[in-house]
Amino acid sequence: MKSTKPVLRALAGEALPVPPVWIMRQAGRYLPEYRATREKAGDFLSLCYNSDFATEVTLQPIRRFDFDASIIFADILLIPHALGADLSFVEGEGPRLSAITGKSDFDTLKGADDIHETLAPVYQTMRNLSSELPKKCALIGFAGAPWTVATYMIAGKGTPDQGPARKFKTEQRAAFQQLMDLLTEATINYLNAQISAGAEIVKLFDTWAGCLTGQDFEDFAVRPVAKIISGIREKHPEIPVIAFPREAGMGYVDFHEKTGANCVAVDHFATPNWAAQNVQPGGCVQGNLDPVHMVDGGADLVSQTKKVVSAFSNGPHIFNLGHGITPDANPKNVHLMIDTIRGN
């Protein structure tokens, strides 16, 4: 039977009169109810690994905004953690891991098949959501793409330009490839388990794809994502996939063609008209309102939202921001965006 969930219809290639909508980081610090649950949980990782709290924060934006999709609350860095890397989140600064300077720094990690014990609470959260979400709301599982996860593992933290990972990739090619292969296999296992637990869609976040150029983009953004997609489709042939190679620029076109993703998520540096003309012929596009409008609101929010809706209206489209909503956003602006999309 064909799905009636609007997001699944768009992913199957249908152009809908009103595009379905959800936003990246929809469960986050801009919501007072998220901050309250996060406080109860203690630190960020305890929130990710407590299925009751993680279910609660995932559902909060659905209750408040009636989004068409729900993305499970977790983090892309849970995979390195499940492989045995030490991970912590420093308040106001972001993730910390021990940096990788050579092969010996990751030789001690577990194998790609040994991640499930640590990640069991994530699968439980997925099962909870699967039974608690409203009927029209699709459930999205996710993971980081290997390159983006590797950039944090190598640097041991977030960096402005991914310098340490780019240097490691050039200077220690064989070790780098081995790390990418481990992450690729672990990600296939993780996503397959999420799908078995109830995910109806999976999304791959390649937040730092834009700093790979030329053949490296092909080798370390396109190829691992294509491999993950074929790995999960061996077990789940029908699973729709959204992939987000952020700041890929012209690379979005190739990426859509070569990875087998049903949908490419486009950041706000690509203009909607360009993306509609060049990326949408390859299939569904997700995006791409500048998240700054969730802070500023007003007439610009309304006109830019209409511009995005109109640019993509002739093909399959899922409305989203070009990147995650920021902690200083005003929830009222999210309502205004949704009302503008739905014509309320």
Residue with tokens 């407590």, as numbered in its chain: 50
Does 287 participate in binding ligand CP3 (rule CB under 6 A)?
Answer: no
What is the Cα 116 distance to its own chain's centre?
Answer: 20
At its nearest, how many Å lie between ligand CP3 and the CB of residue 303?
A: 26
User: Is 123 designated active site?
Assistant: no
Does 207 participate in binding ligand CP3 (rule CB under 6 A)?
Answer: yes
Does 185 participate in binding ligand CP3 (rule CB under 6 A)?
Answer: no
Assign 178 to helix, strand or coil. Answer: helix
Q: Is the peptide bond before 50 cis (omega within 30 degrees of 0)?
A: no
Residue-by-residue DSSP string for 41-81: H-SHHHHHH-HHHHHHHHHHHHHHH--SEEE-S--TTHHHH
* Candidate list 12, 15, 16, 29; residue touching ligand CP3; CB under 6 A: 29
Cβ atoms within 10 Å, residue 184 = 19
* Candidate list 10, 41, 62, 71; residue touching ligand CP3; CB under 6 A: 71
Q: Where does the chain show beta strands of DSSP type E?
A: 69-71, 87-90, 94-97, 138-144, 201-206, 241-245, 263-265, 284-289, 317-321
At its nearest, how many Å lie between ligand CP3 and the CB of residue 5?
A: 18
Residue in 30, 49, 68, 75 annotated catalytic? 75
Spatial contact of 37 and 47, defined as CB atoms under 8 Å apart: yes
Which of the stretches 3-11, 68-76, 127-135, 308-316 binds ligand CP3 when contact is defined by CB under 6 A? 68-76
At its nearest, how many Å lie between ligand CP3 and the CB of residue 76?
A: 4
Considering beta carbons, is residue 8 or 242 the nearer one to ligand CP3? 242
User: Is 166 designated active site?
Assistant: no
* Candidate list 38, 81, 169, 256; residue touching ligand CP3; CB under 6 A: 38
User: Is 190 designated active site?
Assistant: no
Cβ atoms within 10 Å, residue 238 = 8
* Binding pattern for the stretch 314-333 against ligand CP3, x by CB under 6 A and - elsewhere: ----------x---------
Residue with tokens 């001690």, as numbered in its chain: 108
At its nearest, how many Å lie between ligand CP3 and the CB of residue 2?
A: 27
Residue-by-residue DSSP string for 237-254: TT--EEEEETT-TTHHHH
User: Is 29 designated active site?
Assistant: yes
Residue in 9, 30, 34, 38 annotated catalytic? 38
Does 44 participate in binding ligand CP3 (rule CB under 6 A)?
Answer: yes
Residue in 30, 49, 152, 190 annotated catalytic? 152
**Which residues are bridge partners to 204 per DSSP?**
143, 243
Contacts with ligand CP3, residue ranges (CB under 6 A): 24-29, 38, 44, 71, 73, 75-77, 89, 94-95, 142, 158, 205, 207, 324
Catalytic residues: 25, 29, 38, 75, 152
